[in-house]
Amino acid sequence: MGERKKFALEQFNRDNIIQAAKELFETKGIEKTTMDDIAKLADYSKSTIYVYFKSKEDIYNSIVKDYLEILIGELEICISQSKDFEESYYGLCDCLVRFEEKYPQYYASLMGEENMTNSRKKGHIPESSSGYELEHMIRRLLEKGMSHEDIRTDLELKPTILYMWSAISGIIQVAERQREDLDTRLNMNKEEYLRFSFKTFYESLVRR
Amino acid sequence: MGERKKFALEQFNRDNIIQAAKELFETKGIEKTTMDDIAKLADYSKSTIYVYFKSKEDIYNSIVKDYLEILIGELEICISQSKDFEESYYGLCDCLVRFEEKYPQYYASLMGEENMTNSRKKGHIPESSSGYELEHMIRRLLEKGMSHEDIRTDLELKPTILYMWSAISGIIQVAERQREDLDTRLNMNKEEYLRFSFKTFYESLVRR
DNA sequence: ATATAAATCGAAATAATAGTACGAAAAACA
DNA sequence: TGTTTTTCGTACTATTATTTCGATTTATAT
């Protein structure tokens, strides 16, 4: 009987909790947000929170998963609309940069740069490997829309795609980290530096 | 009077504590290592630990700083011994890869990928910006040993150095993260993938 | 050797917070 | 109306970083 309804209700409650947590994580930061905070804002008792999520990390991972889907959605649209490799490439770069700027916290998690509690704890492998999923997704997207005609003939497609992804994510990461210094050192803002790097990299990949 | 001696003693104590912490962090992991553990292993009372370090994070940061110096030392040697840009480049790559494999935990911190407690806490900027120092160092090293003759004439030197650094660090990061999958997907091991990527990138930079 | 100062210790107290326990109250349901 | 499910509230446990502070040991100087 109440199977579907029950499920819907459960989702409803989980969503409320996640919504509250999201807000708090963004304003107070993850570490400073307590389970009591979340309970209060979501207007549930703490016990109830623990009915729907088994831990704070569980909540965090759910949020990350949400953002993963958002990002993947954006990437899919952006790539599917592209006419050729060049458009896909720049679209992808742009998409990632915008996402990183909008949700730096979650971007880092999605990239596998970090977990909630930097759990490099010996032997503790994060259950939600959403971090890795993203890279698989990207590779799938690129493999689909890309052919041997698009890149230099001396490069093998599959390793090149991963290589390309490495470079792009490295560029974005460093650009963000060095944002302050770009101006001083290079007389460039982040925008310009990114354009320069993406372009230089693109041209190095394409057959000339 | 006892100025020099006092300083030496203080260093001695700090070193003992750091030594103990290092051991514990590596065996038990950072989070699972308590201040009591450190005190016991270092054979000091907990109160004394707090005389020399103001927090657990302070200890961690000191350790990271040590590794930063080690890495920088290795890089300096490796680059100063190189005859030309090609050697510097591959030496740098090799150095970083070896370091990353030896001390993955500290490598990540040095790279600014993570702090002890992933302190993306709002407004909390890590005091010890050792993360950023590394990048400056690398840039200095490369700028010194590199000239306009080494890279394509259409590229400006300074932005290119940062761009190069982005790509290298991205490649290493992704290679480590995807280590498991490289075999399945690319029929390559990490070693081979890295060689491929570094080489491809190098050739894209160099004037042909 | 002895008084003074500095370093260290011990042991208890504080504080913060994740997660648990469990009976009572409320809501949904049959 | 009786039964089941959900939610609540409150108190409790457990862990740990960090602080406090008087007592004790060690070094230094007179």
Please identify which residue in the block is written with the tokens 């300074």: B158
B58, part of any domain:
no
A134 and A71 Cβ atoms separated by less than 8 Å: yes
- Looking at residue B42, its pLDDT comes to 97
Write out the residue range of the structural domain in which residue B13 sits: 1-53
A76 and A181 Cβ atoms separated by less than 8 Å: no
> How many Å apart are CA A38 and CA A56, to the nearest integer?
10
Indicate if the pLDDT at residue A125 is higher than 70: no
Q: Are residues B153 and B176 in the same domain?
A: yes
The H or E element that residue A14 is part of is helix A3-28
- pTM for the structure as a whole: 0.88
The torsion region of residue A166 among left (phi > 0), alpha (psi -120 to 50) and beta comes to: alpha
Tokens of B109: 């911190």
The model's pLDDT over A71-103, given as tens digits with 9 standing for 90+, comes to 999 998 988 888 888 998 999 999 999 999 999
User: What CATH number does the domain containing B133 carry?
Assistant: 1.10.357.10
How far does A51 lie from chain B, in Å, by closest CA? 27
Please identify which residue in the block is written with the tokens 């761009």: B163
Set of chain A residues whose Cβ sits within 8 Å of the Cβ of B131: 177
Q: Are residues A144 and A171 in the same domain?
A: yes
Average pLDDT over residues B169-196: 93
Least CB–CB distance from A171: residue in B31, B116, B167: B167
Q: Are residues B115 and B14 in the same domain?
A: no
| Nearest CA among B149, B72, B113 for reference residue A114 | B113
Kindly state the percentage of chain B with pLDDT values over 90. 58
Exposure string for B31-49, b = 16+ CB within 10 A, e = fewer: bebeeebbbebbebeeeeb
- Looking at residue A123, its pLDDT comes to 33
A121, part of any domain:
yes
Average pLDDT over residues A93-117: 87
Among all protein residues, pick the one whose CA is nearest to the C1' atom of D16: B34
Q: Are residues B40 and B67 in the same domain?
A: no
Tokens of B143: 């700028």
Q: Are residues A68 and A42 in the same domain?
A: no
Number of domains in chain A: 2
A8 touches strand D (CB under 7 A): no
Q: Are residues B25 and B73 in the same domain?
A: no
User: What CATH number does the domain containing B1 carry?
Assistant: 1.10.10.60
How far does B170 lie from chain A, in Å, by closest CA? 4
A142, part of any domain:
yes
DSSP for residue B33: -
The torsion region of residue B43 among left (phi > 0), alpha (psi -120 to 50) and beta comes to: left
CA B100 and chain centroid, separation: 7
> Strand D: which residues 30-59 of B lie within 7 A (CB)?
32-36, 46-47, 50, 54-57
Please identify which residue in the block is written with the tokens 């080489």: B199
pLDDT confidence tier of residue B138, bands split at 50, 70 and 90: confident
- Looking at residue A185, its pLDDT comes to 86
Q: Are residues A39 and A74 in the same domain?
A: no
Enumerate helices (H) and strands (E) in chain A, giving the number of each.
Answer: 10, 0
Set of chain A residues whose Cβ sits within 8 Å of the Cβ of B195: none
Indicate if the pLDDT at residue B127 is higher than 50: no
Q: Are residues A80 and A174 in the same domain?
A: yes
Least CB–CB distance from A29: residue in B115, B120, B155: B120
A20, part of any domain:
yes
- Looking at residue B70, its pLDDT comes to 94
Which stretches does DSSP call E strand in A25-77? Answer: none
A47 touches strand D (CB under 7 A): yes
Q: Are residues A124 and A69 in the same domain?
A: yes
Min mean pLDDT across A21-25, A157-161, B14-18 is at A157-161
Least CB–CB distance from A105: residue in B113, B116, B120: B120
Find the closest chain B residue to A139 by CA distance: B185
Interface test with A, best of B109, B120, B157, B206 (most A CBs within 10 A): B120
Set of chain A residues whose Cβ sits within 8 Å of the Cβ of B30: 120-121
